[in-house]
Amino acid sequence: MGGQEDEDSPQLLRTRSDASFMRVQRRSKTHTARDLQRLRTHRFSINGHFYNHKTSVFTPAYGSVTNVRVNSSMTTEQVLNLLLHKFRVENKSEEFVLYMVHESGEKTRLRDGEYPLVARVLYGPCEKISKILITEADLGEEVTYDVAQYIKFEIPVLDSFVEKLKEEEEREINKLTKKYSALKSMIQHQLEGRAHTSDREGRTVPTRVSFLLLSLAVLHCNSAGPATLMSVNAKVVIIGCGISGIAAAHRLANAGFHHVRILEATARSGGRIKTGRLGDNIVEIGANWIHGPSEENPVFCLARQYRLLDPEALTPENQAMDVGGHPPWVPNIFSSSGRKLNPEDIYPALEMFAELMYESSEFESQGGEPWACVGDFIRSEAKRRAAEEWKDIDATTRSLRLCVISNLLKVECCVNGSPSMDEVGLGAYGLYKTLPGLDCTFPAGYEGLIKNLMSELPSGLVTYNQAVRCVHWNNTEKRENPVTIECDDGERIVSDHVIVTVPLGYLKKHHSALFRPLLPLHKLHSIQRLGFGTNNKIFVEFDSPWWDADCEIIHLVWEDEDVMVDYVPDVQRSWIKKLFGFTVLKPTERYGHVLCGWIAGHESEYMETLSEQEVTHTISQIIHRFTGNPTITPRRVLRSQWFHDPWTCGSYSYPGKGCSAQDLDNMMEPLPTKGSQSQPLQVLFAGEATHPCYYSTVHGALLTGWREADRLISHYSSISPSEPPKSKL
């Protein structure tokens, strides 16, 4: 089960965020001197792991994430495939077996059809079951412990697994109890009102309506919940037909709300989900990936339901893969002097940056914040560690590694959609959470999800090209319809509730004109503290590839940036220096030879003002310079322009300096605030920027649409009608 001896490119690890793509993998804490010596004595392999040629033992890369997520429905064969796939081992699963090992040395082989996690749980809380080992089938010899430990089921892990099952069971019981109680109350109310009518002979008989209600109650117990039968007449207006607005409308319509209307300022649905074409190729102008395609991700579940995904994305192994949201990418790295760099020379910079990014995310949980922003922390620590760890290498190599860190800072700007990592708050950086699963795409385009969801909404629910000028709320003159939506064309729409799903960028720019009365100060301050930046894509098609066949990402390293900067002082003259590089659209059979360039910040905003010819010319020049090949010519170019889109004003949100979890709570808080004597839930807020831990993602946006719909459903149900439930979504 050994790695290859070839010296090839290391694995740069990719990311999250919806109009972006990669975050460097968070690794373990800073290495000790002994750890660093161990790193130096290993040879780097093509798979990002190590192979000791003296002992013929395969060992995962030091500091890499070695655990895998195994669920109770996975068989032994699936677990083996998952382990082999994680470490890119090409051997077949039938060459290996799994054993349950007792500390006495006794071991029991797990058959292919057995379920390892279930088998371990059934052993009970036995401390003497030390681990599950993977061995070669023909030899029956153990693989060393440092390889096997990543499938060790420790007692605390198993306890938490059982506890989670108990919690899920209790939640389901409570949910069903509430549902049946609500239905019982509704049926009793109907029976009391229409229980009996007199027939011609003076006898009283139950009405057919009552029997019908009883039958419907039984039929709907397992569907949409208590509000389904209520035939809610409340008027709800949703501003914006992006994924959060569609999700809210979908939920409300299914729950029996008959007066729901979406107002969309443009001529299309989807918002920042936008699929385009480059020649014959489908490309994503907006959201690119399903981040964390697993059972916990509603976008993945819907895409699977609508059959929009490749078979590989649907495998249990793909869903169970837990790499912190950052699968490996094979890079080609070029320098501004026209050289293709040797990965071994720059691998220490990749390793250091991965450690620093991991530590950046830990400040929130540790409660310490000696630096105001992520950029300051990265530069300060990188300089200090470089002086200590790279003191014995030549000045040229040391400078090159610092330039690589500058490039990786530009990558992080794209990940976060920020002008600079100096704008990203260190204290709140760790609020973002990842889901298990290897990120996947939509073969026929992300808009397929939107089309399927829209097809299930009642016809006529969306009004396109209808921009909203102002939301007049808290009309105290009457209890009914306290909200009036004033449109640009002069139409005034009265409603009981409005769900505002506009992007944070639009809210930052127009909040003072959009609401009457103005938003409360605490909400305004949170809108200001949260960041909202621009990340654009530049798609470039070529007649033939100039990158390696296995390459998945191309980095362009400027050799004059050893001061570790992630912005350009002279934007108009040097905007292209903010482009960190390209990702390769795969598979080639589907996309041809197409690269996607990524550029964030003010440089990205300036790029939008240039003509397509100017952008194409500049891209050609930069490729000629970094490859040293003046004959490479783009066939065609297509770029996004999110900053100058008047309805988005940028790409997605990030935690700005001074931002905290309270700001995200403030963003999702409905108006009027608690304690007010006015009608509750007049103005509700949804969209990716209102999710406390999945901000900047499609699944975060969708969940917030459901969250606000559920507030209204709970409000109008017989379950705590005056107090909407608190939600962690």
Q: Residue 431 in contact with residue 287, Cβ under 8 Å? A: no
Distance in angstroms (rounded) separating the CA atoms of residues 267 and 138: 63
Q: What percent of the chain has pLDDT over 70?
A: 75
Q: Give me the mean pLDDT over the 564-577 stretch.
A: 93
Confidence label for 21 from pLDDT (cuts 50, 70 and 90): very low
Q: Give me the mean pLDDT over the 132-146 stretch.
A: 61
What pLDDT, on a 0 to 100 scale, did the predictor assign at position 139? 56
What pLDDT, on a 0 to 100 scale, did the predictor assign at position 462? 98
Q: Is 33 helix (H, G, I), strand (E, B) or coil?
A: helix
Q: Residue 50 in contact with residue 3, Cβ under 8 Å? A: yes
Confidence label for 719 from pLDDT (cuts 50, 70 and 90): very low
- Going by their DSSP bridges, the two strands 581-584 and 553-557 should be labelled as antiparallel
Q: Is 470 helix (H, G, I), strand (E, B) or coil?
A: strand
What pLDDT, on a 0 to 100 scale, did the predictor assign at position 206? 41
In this structure, the chain runs to a length of: 729
What amino acid is encoded at 549 in this protein?
A
* pLDDT of 263 higher than 90: yes
Distance of CA 301 to the CA centre of its chain: 14
Quickly tell me which residue has 């397509």 as its tokens: 612
CA angle 414, 432, 532 (to 5 degrees): 45
Helices (runs of H) and strands (runs of E) counted in the chain: 22, 28
Provide the β-strand partners of residue 335. 557
Quickly tell me which residue has 């229980």 as its tokens: 195
Confidence label for 192 from pLDDT (cuts 50, 70 and 90): low
Q: Does domain 232-271+443-532+650-716 have CATH number 3.40.50.300?
A: no
Q: Residue 533 in contact with residue 418, Cβ under 8 Å? A: yes
* pLDDT of 18 higher than 60: no
What pLDDT, on a 0 to 100 scale, did the predictor assign at position 295? 93
What pLDDT, on a 0 to 100 scale, did the predictor assign at position 157? 63
Q: Give me the mean pLDDT over the 359-363 stretch.
A: 85
Question: In terms of pLDDT, which residue wins out, 369 or 557?
Answer: 557
Whether this prediction's pTM lies above 0.85 is answered by: no
Q: Is 272 exposed, middle or buried (0-12, 13-18, 19+ CB in 10 A)?
A: buried
What pLDDT, on a 0 to 100 scale, did the predictor assign at position 201? 44
The values of phi and psi at residue 368, to 5°, are -110, 140
Q: Where are the domains of the chain?
A: 12-161, 232-271+443-532+650-716
- Going by their DSSP bridges, the two strands 57-59 and 129-136 should be labelled as unpaired
Structure token pair of residue 133: 């080992």
Distance in angstroms (rounded) separating the CA atoms of residues 110 and 457: 48
Give the range among 20-34, 76-90, 187-201, 317-331 with minimum mean pLDDT: 20-34
Q: Does 12-161 match 232-271+443-532+650-716 in CATH topology?
A: no
Q: Residue 550 in contact with residue 48, Cβ under 8 Å? A: no
Confidence label for 513 from pLDDT (cuts 50, 70 and 90): very high
* pLDDT of 12 higher than 70: no
Give the range among 105-114, 271-280, 536-545, 596-605 with minimum mean pLDDT: 105-114
Angle at which helices 395-416 and 374-389 cross, to 10°: 160
Q: Is 173 exposed, middle or buried (0-12, 13-18, 19+ CB in 10 A)?
A: exposed
At 619-673, the pLDDT tens digits run 999 999 999 999 999 999 999 999 999 999 999 999 999 999 999 999 999 999 9
CA angle 152, 153, 158 (to 5 degrees): 165
Question: In terms of pLDDT, which residue wins out, 406 or 159?
Answer: 406
What pLDDT, on a 0 to 100 scale, did the predictor assign at position 321? 82
> H-helix or E-strand containing 637?
strand 636-639
Q: Is 214 exposed, middle or buried (0-12, 13-18, 19+ CB in 10 A)?
A: middle
What pLDDT, on a 0 to 100 scale, did the predictor assign at position 212? 39
Structure token pair of residue 108: 């029991």
What pLDDT, on a 0 to 100 scale, did the predictor assign at position 185? 66
Confidence label for 189 from pLDDT (cuts 50, 70 and 90): low
CATH topology of domain 12-161: Ubiquitin-like (UB roll) (3.10.20)
What pLDDT, on a 0 to 100 scale, did the predictor assign at position 722? 37
Distance in angstroms (rounded) separating the CA atoms of residues 98 and 200: 78
At 44-75, the pLDDT tens digits run 333 333 333 333 344 455 445 556 778 888 88
Q: Give me the mean pLDDT over the 203-212 stretch.
A: 40
What pLDDT, on a 0 to 100 scale, did the predictor assign at position 362? 83
* pLDDT of 366 higher than 70: no
Secondary structure of 301-343 as H, E, C letters: HHHHHCCCCCHHHHCHHHHHCCCCCCCEECEEEEECCCCECCH
The values of phi and psi at residue 80, to 5°, are -60, -45
Distance in angstroms (rounded) separating the CA atoms of residues 7 and 567: 33
What pLDDT, on a 0 to 100 scale, did the predictor assign at position 211? 38
Confidence label for 152 from pLDDT (cuts 50, 70 and 90): low
Q: Residue 612 in contact with residue 587, Cβ under 8 Å? A: no
**Burial profile 38-76: b = 16 or more Cβ within 10 angstroms, e = fewer:** ebeeeebbbbbbbbeeeeeebbbbbbbbbebebbeebbb
Distance in angstroms (rounded) separating the CA atoms of residues 134 and 142: 7
